[in-house]
Protein backbone atom coordinates (compact mmCIF):
# COMPACT_ATOMS: atom_id res chain seq x y z
CA UNK A 1 0.00 0.00 0.00
CA UNK A 2 1.21 3.46 -0.76
CA UNK A 3 2.16 5.38 2.38
CA UNK A 4 0.03 8.31 3.26
CA UNK A 5 1.74 11.65 3.00
CA UNK A 6 1.08 14.07 5.78
CA UNK A 7 0.83 17.63 4.55
CA UNK A 8 1.93 20.08 7.24
CA UNK A 9 -0.15 23.17 7.36
CA UNK A 10 1.90 26.34 7.64
CA UNK A 11 0.42 28.83 10.07
CA UNK A 12 0.08 32.26 8.55
CA UNK A 13 1.66 35.13 10.46
CA UNK A 14 -1.01 37.74 11.12
CA UNK A 15 -0.33 41.00 9.35
CA UNK A 16 0.16 44.07 11.49
CA UNK A 17 -2.46 46.59 10.41
CA UNK A 18 -0.99 49.76 9.00
CA UNK A 19 -1.48 52.85 11.11
CA UNK A 20 -4.25 54.96 9.64
CA UNK A 21 -2.93 58.23 8.23
CA UNK A 22 -4.26 61.28 10.12
CA UNK A 23 -7.07 63.11 8.37
CA UNK A 24 -7.00 66.87 7.80
CA UNK A 25 -9.30 67.27 10.81
CA UNK A 26 -6.95 65.15 12.93
CA UNK A 27 -4.14 67.53 11.98
CA UNK A 28 -6.29 70.50 13.02
CA UNK A 29 -6.74 68.96 16.46
CA UNK A 30 -3.01 68.30 16.76
CA UNK A 31 -2.16 71.85 15.65
CA UNK A 32 -4.46 73.22 18.35
CA UNK A 33 -3.20 70.95 21.13
CA UNK A 34 -2.55 73.13 24.20
CA UNK A 35 0.56 71.06 25.02
CA UNK A 36 2.13 71.77 21.64
CA UNK A 37 5.37 73.82 21.84
CA UNK A 38 4.83 77.58 21.69
CA UNK A 39 7.20 80.40 20.77
CA UNK A 40 8.80 80.48 24.23
CA UNK A 41 9.53 76.74 24.01
CA UNK A 42 11.20 77.08 20.60
CA UNK A 43 13.28 80.02 21.78
CA UNK A 44 14.38 78.17 24.91
CA UNK A 45 15.47 75.10 22.94
CA UNK A 46 16.83 76.81 19.79
CA UNK A 47 18.38 80.12 20.84
CA UNK A 48 21.48 80.64 22.98
CA UNK A 49 20.25 84.14 23.79
CA UNK A 50 17.17 86.27 23.19
CA UNK A 51 16.77 90.01 23.75
CA UNK A 52 13.13 91.02 23.45
CA UNK A 53 12.22 94.39 21.95
CA UNK A 54 8.95 96.03 22.93
CA UNK A 55 6.27 98.27 21.50
CA UNK A 56 5.12 99.72 18.19
CA UNK A 57 6.07 103.30 19.25
CA UNK A 58 2.47 104.33 18.54
CA UNK A 59 0.02 102.66 20.92
CA UNK A 60 1.36 99.85 23.12
CA UNK A 61 3.24 96.55 23.32
CA UNK A 62 0.97 93.80 21.99
CA UNK A 63 1.82 90.61 23.92
CA UNK A 64 0.26 88.41 21.21
CA UNK A 65 3.31 89.06 19.03
CA UNK A 66 6.84 88.79 20.44
CA UNK A 67 10.01 89.97 18.73
CA UNK A 68 13.68 90.43 19.45
CA UNK A 69 17.25 89.58 18.56
CA UNK A 70 18.47 86.01 19.08
CA UNK A 71 21.34 83.70 18.22
CA UNK A 72 20.38 80.37 16.64
CA UNK A 73 23.22 77.96 15.96
CA UNK A 74 25.71 80.82 15.84
CA UNK A 75 23.50 82.86 13.48
CA UNK A 76 22.39 86.30 14.69
CA UNK A 77 18.76 86.78 13.66
CA UNK A 78 15.62 88.74 14.41
CA UNK A 79 12.87 86.45 15.73
CA UNK A 80 9.20 87.34 15.39
CA UNK A 81 6.36 85.09 16.44
CA UNK A 82 2.82 84.70 17.66
CA UNK A 83 2.61 84.15 21.40
CA UNK A 84 -0.34 82.08 22.68
CA UNK A 85 0.92 81.33 26.16
CA UNK A 86 0.98 78.04 28.07
CA UNK A 87 -1.17 78.93 31.08
CA UNK A 88 -4.59 80.55 31.43
CA UNK A 89 -2.94 83.74 32.68
CA UNK A 90 -0.56 83.82 29.71
CA UNK A 91 -3.43 83.03 27.34
CA UNK A 92 -5.34 86.04 28.61
CA UNK A 93 -2.31 88.35 28.49
CA UNK A 94 -1.48 87.21 24.95
CA UNK A 95 -5.10 87.29 23.77
CA UNK A 96 -4.68 83.62 22.75
CA UNK A 97 -2.24 84.63 20.02
CA UNK A 98 -4.71 86.90 18.24
CA UNK A 99 -2.73 90.00 17.29
CA UNK A 100 -4.01 93.59 17.34
CA UNK A 101 -2.85 96.22 14.81
CA UNK A 102 -0.23 97.35 17.35
CA UNK A 103 1.41 93.92 17.15
CA UNK A 104 1.71 94.01 13.38
CA UNK A 105 3.11 97.52 13.52
CA UNK A 106 5.65 96.29 16.06
CA UNK A 107 6.59 93.49 13.65
CA UNK A 108 7.11 95.99 10.83
CA UNK A 109 9.24 98.22 13.06
CA UNK A 110 11.45 95.32 14.07
CA UNK A 111 11.62 94.01 10.50
CA UNK A 112 12.99 97.33 9.31
CA UNK A 113 15.49 97.23 12.18
CA UNK A 114 16.71 93.80 11.03
CA UNK A 115 17.11 95.13 7.50
CA UNK A 116 19.12 98.11 8.81
CA UNK A 117 21.54 95.82 10.67
CA UNK A 118 21.67 93.23 7.86
CA UNK A 119 20.20 90.46 10.01
CA UNK A 120 18.04 87.59 8.70
CA UNK A 121 14.49 87.28 10.04
CA UNK A 122 12.92 84.08 11.37
CA UNK A 123 9.16 84.16 12.05
CA UNK A 124 7.10 81.60 13.95
CA UNK A 125 3.45 81.42 12.90
CA UNK A 126 0.85 80.08 15.33
CA UNK A 127 -2.45 81.96 15.57
CA UNK A 128 -6.14 81.21 15.04
CA UNK A 129 -6.30 84.60 13.29
CA UNK A 130 -5.97 88.33 13.86
CA UNK A 131 -8.09 89.75 16.68
CA UNK A 132 -11.54 90.54 15.19
CA UNK A 133 -12.79 92.88 17.93
CA UNK A 134 -14.16 96.38 17.38
CA UNK A 135 -11.15 97.98 19.10
CA UNK A 136 -8.82 96.31 16.59
CA UNK A 137 -10.98 97.41 13.68
CA UNK A 138 -11.07 100.97 15.03
CA UNK A 139 -7.26 101.05 15.11
CA UNK A 140 -6.96 99.81 11.53
CA UNK A 141 -6.59 96.03 11.63
CA UNK A 142 -7.02 95.51 7.88
CA UNK A 143 -4.60 98.32 7.03
CA UNK A 144 -1.99 96.99 9.46
CA UNK A 145 -2.12 93.49 7.95
CA UNK A 146 -1.99 94.82 4.38
CA UNK A 147 0.90 97.13 5.22
CA UNK A 148 2.78 94.29 6.92
CA UNK A 149 2.46 92.16 3.78
CA UNK A 150 3.89 95.04 1.74
CA UNK A 151 6.75 95.75 4.14
CA UNK A 152 7.90 92.13 4.54
CA UNK A 153 7.70 91.55 0.80
CA UNK A 154 10.21 94.36 0.32
CA UNK A 155 12.64 93.87 3.22
CA UNK A 156 16.16 93.45 1.84
CA UNK A 157 17.22 90.61 4.12
CA UNK A 158 16.60 86.84 4.13
CA UNK A 159 13.30 85.78 5.74
CA UNK A 160 12.51 82.24 6.92
CA UNK A 161 8.95 81.46 8.04
CA UNK A 162 8.00 78.46 10.21
CA UNK A 163 4.32 77.53 10.61
CA UNK A 164 4.38 75.66 13.92
CA UNK A 165 0.68 75.31 14.83
CA UNK A 166 -2.30 77.16 13.42
CA UNK A 167 -1.70 79.42 10.46
CA UNK A 168 -4.96 81.30 10.54
CA UNK A 169 -5.92 83.67 7.71
CA UNK A 170 -4.52 87.22 7.46
CA UNK A 171 -3.41 87.04 11.07
CA UNK A 172 -0.83 84.48 9.99
CA UNK A 173 -0.05 85.95 6.56
CA UNK A 174 1.00 89.29 8.05
CA UNK A 175 4.29 87.78 9.25
CA UNK A 176 4.45 84.86 6.81
CA UNK A 177 5.90 86.54 3.71
CA UNK A 178 9.33 84.95 3.30
CA UNK A 179 11.95 83.38 1.09
CA UNK A 180 11.56 79.94 2.66
CA UNK A 181 8.27 78.76 4.13
CA UNK A 182 8.68 75.78 6.46
CA UNK A 183 5.79 73.96 8.10
CA UNK A 184 5.67 71.39 10.86
CA UNK A 185 4.17 68.07 9.83
CA UNK A 186 0.98 68.49 11.89
CA UNK A 187 0.54 72.25 11.49
CA UNK A 188 -2.27 73.73 9.41
CA UNK A 189 -2.32 76.87 7.27
CA UNK A 190 -5.51 78.27 5.80
CA UNK A 191 -7.46 81.31 4.62
CA UNK A 192 -10.21 80.50 7.15
CA UNK A 193 -10.82 78.04 9.98
CA UNK A 194 -12.65 74.80 9.09
CA UNK A 195 -15.50 75.86 11.38
CA UNK A 196 -15.78 79.23 9.64
CA UNK A 197 -15.73 77.62 6.21
CA UNK A 198 -18.35 75.06 7.24
CA UNK A 199 -20.58 77.82 8.56
CA UNK A 200 -20.39 79.72 5.26
CA UNK A 201 -20.66 76.83 2.79
CA UNK A 202 -22.91 74.35 4.61
CA UNK A 203 -24.45 76.57 7.32
CA UNK A 204 -23.41 73.86 9.76
CA UNK A 205 -20.38 73.96 12.06
CA UNK A 206 -20.53 70.17 12.34
CA UNK A 207 -19.25 69.99 8.76
CA UNK A 208 -15.84 71.29 9.93
CA UNK A 209 -14.06 67.95 9.23
CA UNK A 210 -15.39 68.03 5.66
CA UNK A 211 -14.29 71.66 5.30
CA UNK A 212 -10.81 70.84 6.64
CA UNK A 213 -10.41 68.25 3.89
CA UNK A 214 -11.73 70.58 1.17
CA UNK A 215 -9.56 73.54 2.20
CA UNK A 216 -6.27 71.63 1.64
CA UNK A 217 -4.76 73.01 4.83
CA UNK A 218 -2.23 70.30 5.72
CA UNK A 219 1.51 70.51 5.18
CA UNK A 220 1.39 67.74 2.57
CA UNK A 221 -1.36 69.50 0.58
CA UNK A 222 0.37 72.87 0.71
CA UNK A 223 3.75 71.45 -0.30
CA UNK A 224 2.06 69.81 -3.29
CA UNK A 225 0.45 73.14 -4.22
CA UNK A 226 3.75 74.99 -3.88
CA UNK A 227 2.57 77.27 -1.07
CA UNK A 228 5.28 76.01 1.33
CA UNK A 229 8.82 74.86 0.62
CA UNK A 230 9.52 72.17 3.18
CA UNK A 231 7.74 69.95 5.70
CA UNK A 232 9.54 69.70 9.04
CA UNK A 233 9.05 66.29 10.70
CA UNK A 234 7.65 65.94 14.20
CA UNK A 235 8.39 63.40 16.94
CA UNK A 236 6.19 60.31 17.00
CA UNK A 237 2.75 61.31 18.25
CA UNK A 238 3.25 64.99 17.47
CA UNK A 239 5.38 67.91 18.61
CA UNK A 240 3.49 68.06 21.90
CA UNK A 241 5.07 64.76 22.99
CA UNK A 242 8.66 66.03 22.88
CA UNK A 243 9.32 69.77 22.71
CA UNK A 244 13.09 69.32 22.62
CA UNK A 245 13.02 66.98 19.61
CA UNK A 246 10.51 69.16 17.77
CA UNK A 247 12.69 72.24 18.31
CA UNK A 248 15.76 70.33 17.12
CA UNK A 249 14.02 69.50 13.83
CA UNK A 250 12.95 73.12 13.38
CA UNK A 251 16.42 74.45 14.25
CA UNK A 252 18.09 72.20 11.66
CA UNK A 253 15.60 73.24 8.96
CA UNK A 254 15.95 76.96 9.77
CA UNK A 255 19.76 76.86 9.73
CA UNK A 256 19.75 74.95 6.44
CA UNK A 257 17.42 77.53 4.88
CA UNK A 258 19.50 80.47 6.15
CA UNK A 259 22.69 78.91 4.81
CA UNK A 260 21.14 78.57 1.34
CA UNK A 261 19.63 82.07 1.33
CA UNK A 262 22.84 83.78 2.43
CA UNK A 263 24.55 82.53 -0.72
CA UNK A 264 22.33 84.80 -2.81
CA UNK A 265 22.97 88.44 -3.56
CA UNK A 266 20.27 90.87 -2.46
CA UNK A 267 19.15 91.33 -6.06
CA UNK A 268 18.79 87.58 -6.52
CA UNK A 269 17.00 87.26 -3.19
CA UNK A 270 14.45 89.95 -4.00
CA UNK A 271 13.84 88.68 -7.53
CA UNK A 272 13.25 85.13 -6.26
CA UNK A 273 10.91 86.35 -3.51
CA UNK A 274 8.87 88.35 -6.01
CA UNK A 275 8.60 85.35 -8.33
CA UNK A 276 7.64 83.12 -5.42
CA UNK A 277 4.80 85.42 -4.41
CA UNK A 278 3.57 86.03 -7.95
CA UNK A 279 3.28 82.37 -8.86
CA UNK A 280 1.03 81.53 -5.90
CA UNK A 281 -2.45 80.81 -7.13
CA UNK A 282 -1.33 79.82 -10.65
CA UNK A 283 -2.75 76.43 -11.57
CA UNK A 284 -2.73 74.53 -14.83
Task: Specify the pairing of strand 159-168 against strand 188-190.
Answer: parallel
pLDDT value of position 7: 46
Domains along the sequence of the chain with CATH: 28-278 (3.90.226.10)
The rounded distance, in Å, linking the Cα atoms of 217 and 202 is 18
DSSP per residue over 116-176, as a string? Answer: HTT--EEEEEEES-S--SHHHHHTTHHHHHHHHHHHHHH-SS-EEEEEEEEEEHHHHHTT-
Q: Closest Cα to residue 51, out of 104, 113, 103?
A: 113
Q: What's the mean pLDDT in 250-261? A: 97
Report the chain's terminal Cα–Cα distance, integer Å. 76
Helix axes 141-154, 266-278, angle to 10 degrees: 130
**What does the DSSP 8-state code read for residue 103?**
H
pLDDT tens digits, one per residue of 91-115: 899 888 999 999 999 999 999 999 9
Q: What's the mean pLDDT in 181-202? A: 94
Four-residue CA torsion sign, 93, 90, 43, 248: negative
Beta bridge partners of 181: 161
pLDDT tens digits, one per residue of 33-47: 999 999 999 999 999
pLDDT tens digits, one per residue of 42-87: 999 999 999 999 999 988 999 999 999 999 999 999 999 999 988 8
Q: Is the pLDDT of residue 187 over 90?
A: yes
Per DSSP, helices labelled H in the chain are 24-31, 39-46, 88-93, 101-116, 134-138, 141-154, 169-173, 194-201, 208-215, 219-225, 243-261, 266-278
Q: Closest Cα to residue 254, out of 38, 43, 64, 36?
A: 43
| C-alpha torsion 98→54→189→33, nearest 10 | -70
Q: What percent of the chain shows pLDDT beyond 70?
A: 92
Q: What's the mean pLDDT in 166-181? A: 94
Q: What's the mean pLDDT in 2-20? A: 55
Amino acid sequence: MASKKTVAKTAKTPKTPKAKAPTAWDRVQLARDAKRPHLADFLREMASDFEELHGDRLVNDDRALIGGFATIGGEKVLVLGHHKGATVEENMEANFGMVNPDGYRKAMRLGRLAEKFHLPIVTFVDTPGAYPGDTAEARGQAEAIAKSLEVFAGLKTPIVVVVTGEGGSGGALAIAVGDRILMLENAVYSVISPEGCAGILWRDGKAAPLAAEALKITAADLARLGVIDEIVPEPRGGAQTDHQAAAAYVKAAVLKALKELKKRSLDELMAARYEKLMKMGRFN
